[in-house]
Amino acid sequence: MPNAFATGRNSKNAVLCVTEGLLYHSDLTQEELEGILAHELSHVAHKDVQVMTYASLLAIVAGLLGAVRVLLRDLRRGRRGGDNGNAALLIPAHHARLRGRVRDQLPADQAAVRYRELAATAAARCSPRTQAH
């Protein structure tokens, strides 16, 4: 299956992976292959892996803080009311709520990934090597 991707937290640790399917078994011209590689190298140059890791981390921390805040609020309410019989039900309920928050975050993550892909494609088009042909 033809595919290529780049990973690594910075240019010193970057790795560009290309499958044999892309190199030997696809009908791509040399210029098209160079365009794909320029696109992947653009991800490295713009530190996309690092940017997306930090963005995901911030979203996860924000979601967890919100979930803990709500859990603590609900536990305090139960304690004040004197009825702790339902306290054991709070943890699964908050777990389900947290899963919902993570699911709701997916469209924003997908939009960020889509933006980075479009930016990498634009950068590859501006590359002097891909314009030389």
Tell whether the torsion through CA atoms of 15, 20, 23 and 27 is positive or negative: negative
CA distance 21 to 4: 10
* 71 alpha-carbon distance from chain centroid: 27
Backbone angles phi, psi at 84, to 5 degrees: -100, 10
pLDDT at position 88: 61
3-state secondary structure of 2: coil
Domain residues of the chain, as ranges? 4-131
pTM exceeds 0.85 for this model: no
Annotated catalytic residues are: 40
Task: Give the position of tokens 């803990």.
Answer: 68
pLDDT band for position 19 (50/70/90)? very high
